[in-house]
Amino acid sequence: MPTRIALFSLLVPDYDEALAFFLQIGFECREDTDLGGGKRWVRIAPKGAETEILLARAVGAEQGAAVGAQGGGRVWLFLETTDFDADHRHMQSVGIPFEGPPRSEPYGRVAVWRDPWGNRWDLIEFADAGRGGTGG
């Protein structure tokens, strides 16, 4: 029986651009392997996280059109933090565009932001810190 989601793909237009972006907000590169033919296996994650993101360079018109739209315009990625204020300040200092000020919801403190390709993310500090750990 499956036990966890190990990783998921995030379509990006360019490996190096995406890697640089995520490193500046505190992710780490766990693997960057050249697979030949311009293809790479690039795994990233927040430090200490279990679930990883596989950066997938979009190839062709269909994949290119899906860059930034994998969530259909909804927030579909949730970046958990245990120090909302510090992480929010850091992300603002490196130019991450937030859609509005942080807000408190029953499930936690949250602010919506966009990556350079238009994907909508939540920066979130859950109200229930024991809901399953941090990261990933």
61 and 13 Cβ atoms separated by less than 8 Å: no
Side chain identity at residue 60, one-letter code: G
Task: Tell me the CATH number of domain 1-67, given options 3.30.470.20, 3.40.50.300, 3.10.20.30, 3.10.180.10.
Answer: 3.10.180.10
Phi, psi (rounded to 5 degrees) for 133 = 100, 180
**Domain boundaries in the chain?**
1-67, 72-130
Distance in Å from the first CA to the final CA of the chain? 20
- The answer to whether the 1-67 and 72-130 domains have the same CATH topology is yes
Q: What is the pLDDT along the chain (136 residues), one digit of tens a residue?
A: 999 999 999 999 999 999 999 999 999 999 999 999 999 999 999 999 999 999 999 999 999 999 999 999 999 999 999 999 999 999 999 999 999 999 999 999 999 999 999 999 999 999 987 664 444 3
Q: How many CB atoms lie within 10 A of CB 78?
A: 12
CATH class of 72-130: alpha beta
pLDDT at 134: 43
Q: What is the pTM of this model?
A: 0.90
